[in-house]
Chain A
């Protein structure tokens, strides 16, 4: 039995066990696709019958094969996607989860496959300017939908509920702890950056559900419409400005199509949520340091032999550029 046939068999057994009364479960078209952050991803089609009713679904499975840039909780990601299911937030419906990996070989999340493409190079290109601006506008609208979600009372897994007064400081400490755990040298410039962030942490206007990796490259789109926000592994509760600031990190910023000021104005128009300039500035600087920690974690995972992706091997070389962005931003 080859690997694809073996996966088909295991998926059929797993889905048969998950869907009450399911019979004749058939898995076809298992195809490897890009999954990001050290996840193995496969597209496949699933079909089954329940009491004579036939169901067919295009699916995507994300399997945590090895440590990635971050250690994240698949169960919480699954719960967040479930919480979004009846909302107008463009997100793939979460179907099933194998938390332990007992059924599918490693912890695995299965979602419905949504139509659309994800091509960050095309979106960041100068042309077609109008079409790419339209996508940026729809991203602002998607942020508004997500941030106005009534999340209280929903099962969001292990997500902690911060207060508006302390949320920024708590985020800084969270990332500082990851930095202290994974740094391979003292890196005093990073220590100083965390000190600055802790002493400039603003109060949030409100606490909302954040995507956590909200940016060009992390969604599917068709025409000028975003069909699904992807990669929810860093979702958490926090200041809405954190998502907006992250979207404008230089590496993936849509600024050539739409300034952050225009993006924020459109976001406010859709959501009614104000975008305080001081909070945006803080989270833009925070984003540089957050990205630096993610990069350090990736390089450390490779150096320790926990991950084998060569793309992670020298991610620490991102650090000077990210620190420069931070230092320039502080001095601006």
Chain B
């Protein structure tokens, strides 16, 4: 893939906006919009290169957990595309009768994975 990669580009766009545009937008809703935009760009720059691996790991973990929880009743989703398969597995989990220790343990691991994509959110409200 030709560089700069998306995450590199997003990070540089955020930096350029901070350096060249933000100083000229001194107050009010426009400044807040700009600050929010650069914050989102930085988050995406961190998350994009990690997201595929996190989804793959989470989908495998969830599928394994559901196989343990449901046993013979588990029907694997048809979807082979990883994000679609992940969503389909989540839908199965959401329909499982709740208060299941194995699923609760999975949810804790899944939340930890999500947090790794958003370290700033973890710091601000942990």
| Chain A positions near chain B (C-beta within 8 angstroms) | 32, 185-189, 191-192, 195-196, 199, 250-251, 309-311, 313-314, 317-325, 327
Residues of chain B lying within 8 A (CB to CB) of residue A187: 90, 94
Instruction: Say which residue of A32, A186, A314, A322 sits within 8 Å of B94 (CB atoms).
Output: A186
- Offer 26 A-B interface pairs, CB within 8 angstroms, sorted by A: A185-B87, A186-B87, A186-B94, A188-B94, A188-B96, A188-B103, A189-B111, A191-B94, A192-B98, A192-B104, A195-B98, A251-B124, A309-B36, A310-B32, A310-B33, A319-B114, A320-B114, A320-B115, A320-B118, A320-B122, A323-B111, A324-B115, A324-B122, A325-B125, A327-B107, A327-B111
Write the nearest CB–CB distance from A122 to chain B, whole angstroms: 17
Residues of A with C-beta under 8 A to B40:
310, 313-314
CB pair B98 A191 closer than 8 Å: yes
Q: Does B28 contact A (CB under 8 A)?
A: yes
**A324–B126 touching, CB < 8 Å:** yes
A318 touches B99 (CB 8 A): no
Cα distance A185–B99 when bound, in Å? 20
Whether the pair A192, B115 counts as a contact (CB closer than 8 A) is no
CB neighbours (8 Å) of B107 from chain A are 188-189, 192, 323, 327
Q: Does B93 contact A (CB under 8 A)?
A: yes
Which residues on A sit within 8 Å (CB–CB) of B111?
A: 189, 320, 323-324, 327
Q: For A195, what are the chain B residues with a Cβ–Cβ distance below 8 Å? A: 98-99
Residue contact A325 to B87, C-beta cutoff 8 Å: no
**Contacts A186-B93, A250-B125 given; 19 further ones with Cβ under 8 A?**
A189-B107, A189-B110, A192-B98, A192-B104, A199-B99, A251-B125, A310-B37, A314-B40, A317-B43, A317-B121, A319-B114, A320-B111, A320-B122, A321-B124, A321-B125, A321-B126, A322-B125, A324-B115, A327-B108
Q: Which A residue's beta carbon lies closest to that of B99?
A: A195
CA distance A9 to B33 in the complex (A): 29
Bound Cα distance A32, B31 (Å): 14
**What residue in chain B is nearest A311 (Cβ atoms)?**
B36
Partner of B103, one of A192, A199, A310, A318: A192
Q: Which residue of B lies closest to A198 (CB)?
A: B98
Q: Please, how many angstroms separate the alpha-carbon atoms of A134 and B84 in the complex?
A: 53
- B70: interface (CB < 8 Å): no
Nearest first, the 5 closest Cβ-Cβ pairs linking A and B are: A320-B114, A310-B36, A195-B98, A188-B93, A188-B94
User: Could you tell me if A325 and B126 are in contact, using CB atoms closer than 8 angstroms?
Assistant: yes
Q: Nearest-CB distance from A37 to chain B (Å)?
A: 14
B28 / chain A contacts, CB cutoff of 8 Å? 32
Kindly list chain B residues whose C-beta atoms are within 8 Å of the C-beta of A185: 87, 90
Q: Is B91 part of the contact surface with A, judged by Cβ < 8 Å? A: yes
Q: Which residues of B contact A314 (CB under 8 A)?
A: 40, 43
How many angstroms from the CA of A325 to the CA of B124 in the assembled complex? Answer: 12
Complex Cα–Cα for A191 and B103 (A): 12
Once bound together, how far apart are the Cα atoms of A310 and B42, in whole Å? 14
Cα(A196)–Cα(B112), bound, Å: 20
CA distance A323 to B106 in the complex (A): 13
Q: Do B32 and A311 have beta carbons less than 8 Å apart?
A: yes
Is there an interface contact between B90 and A320, defined as CB atoms closer than 8 Å? Answer: no
Shortest distance between the CB of A327 and any CB in chain B (Å) = 5
Q: How far is the CB of A77 from chain B (nearest CB, A)?
A: 23
The residues of A that contact B115 with a CB separation of less than 8 Å are: 320-321, 324
CB distance from B93 to the nearest CB of A (A): 4
Could you say which of A185, A251, A314, A321 has the most chain B C-beta atoms within 10 Å of its C-beta?
A: A321
Contact B90 A186 (CB under 8 A): yes
* Chain B window 3-35, contacts with chain A (Cβ cutoff 8 Å), 1 for yes, 0 for no: 000000000000000000000000010001100
Please give me the residue from chain A that is nearest to B118 by CB atom: A317
